[in-house]
Amino acid sequence: MQGKLPPLFTLQAFEAASRLGSFSKAADELSLTPGAISRQIRQLEDWSSLTLFKRHGPKVSLTDDGAALLTRLAGPLSALHQAIYPPADAATKTLHISTLASIAKEWLLPRLASFSAAHPHIRLIIDTDYALARPAPRVAMVAIRHGARQSTDQICETLFTDRLLAVTSPELKSRLGTDARLWPASMLLQHLSLDPVHWLAAAGLPEDFSLQGQAYNDADVLLEAAQHSQGIALGRLSIAWRRLQAGTLVLANTTICPTSRDNLLVLREDSAALPEVLAFTTWLREQARLWQMEMDKFDSMHHVGQG
């Protein structure tokens, strides 16, 4: 019935079981029996006409419908909790952002002023490191990484895909030409954690071709070397974008491929509903959507395929 809601305690039982992955653990947290939690979940499933959990012995996991409901409930339940138990420092909150230096400098920071203007009460601490930090429970922290999605105990979602391309200085491009098959192997700069095999194949280079130029572990430093005519760098569009727009880097040739890894948002499930995390992730997803639109335009201009 429109406007009629299930009991709040039923929703609390659902949230606890979702977060903890166990009716027994939810019962311990709420000072109930597992049977009572099970009855609350069954009542909510009857109420919503949805199957919310998959049972795996003593463990449970959310169905797609259950995950969707949890996403919708996260903000309202957190807001109720904050209303009843306001933090002592409610006026100012701190959010930790863990990311790579290249992502922070070339993608995040140019956009971040709009978030700070909209949320002046949220203080940001940006930690740039290659290791993905594991925050304590209910700590306001998010991570923005570049890699392959993995099955973990954390929320991991794709923010946006990326493109792999070869870039260099205008001077070096005029000197070496645009045919990758004629470039000296010693002039191809390497990123230590980037797999170039798809780009090399698309550019017509042999399967046994190996990069022999300088190697870097940081994507931004790699592009800085290319900007100084140290060689031709295989890099990501999101990191090279500002230099390409400014003309300090240019496309070395027309070969552009989707990357094998994505740019990811990673956070703990038990902190996803914190107001400062919700505010930032909502803003971040919108920025990623706008950037994806820019990449779609880039793809259409350069006829980027899926190879």
**Average pLDDT, whole number, for the chain?**
88
132 confidence band (pLDDT: 50, 70, 90): low
What integer pLDDT is reported at residue 290 of this predicted model? 94
Paired residues of 263 in beta bridges: 146, 160
pLDDT reading at 252 higher than 90: yes
306 confidence band (pLDDT: 50, 70, 90): very low
How many Å separate Cα 299 from the centre of its chain? 21
Reported as a single tens digit per residue, the pLDDT across 170-198 is 999 999 999 999 999 999 998 988 888 88
What integer pLDDT is reported at residue 65 of this predicted model? 92
Helix (H, G, I), strand (E, B), or coil: what is residue 91? coil
pLDDT reading at 97 higher than 60: yes
- Helix locations, the chain, DSSP H: 8-20, 23-30, 34-48, 64-84, 101-103, 109-118, 170-176, 197-202, 219-227, 237-246, 275-302
Element (H, E) at 96: strand 93-99
Separation of alpha carbons 133 and 142, rounded Å: 10
- For the chain, report the end-to-end CA distance as a whole number of angstroms: 51
User: What tokens appear for 28 in the block?
Assistant: 């311990």
Separation of alpha carbons 52 and 61, rounded Å: 9
pLDDT reading at 116 higher than 50: yes
Q: DSSP per residue over 14-32, as a string?
A: HHHHHHHT-HHHHHHHHT-
What integer pLDDT is reported at residue 1 of this predicted model? 41
What integer pLDDT is reported at residue 160 of this predicted model? 93
The answer to whether 165 touches 173, Cβ cutoff 8 Å, is no
Q: Which residues contact 124 (CB under 8 A, 6 or more apart)?
A: 94, 95, 97, 112, 115, 116
Q: DSSP per residue over 23-56, as a string?
A: HHHHHHHHT--HHHHHHHHHHHHHHHT---EEEE
Helix (H, G, I), strand (E, B), or coil: what is residue 100? coil
What integer pLDDT is reported at residue 7 of this predicted model? 87
pLDDT reading at 2 higher than 70: no
Cα separation values, 211 from 192, 200, 205, 208, 294, Å: 11, 10, 11, 10, 30
Reported as a single tens digit per residue, the pLDDT across 256-301 is 998 888 999 998 888 888 999 999 999 999 999 999 999 989 988 8
How many Å separate Cα 1 from the centre of its chain? 38
Reported as a single tens digit per residue, the pLDDT across 3-30 is 578 888 899 899 889 888 899 989 888 8
Strands of 148-201, DSSP E = 154-160, 163-168, 188-191
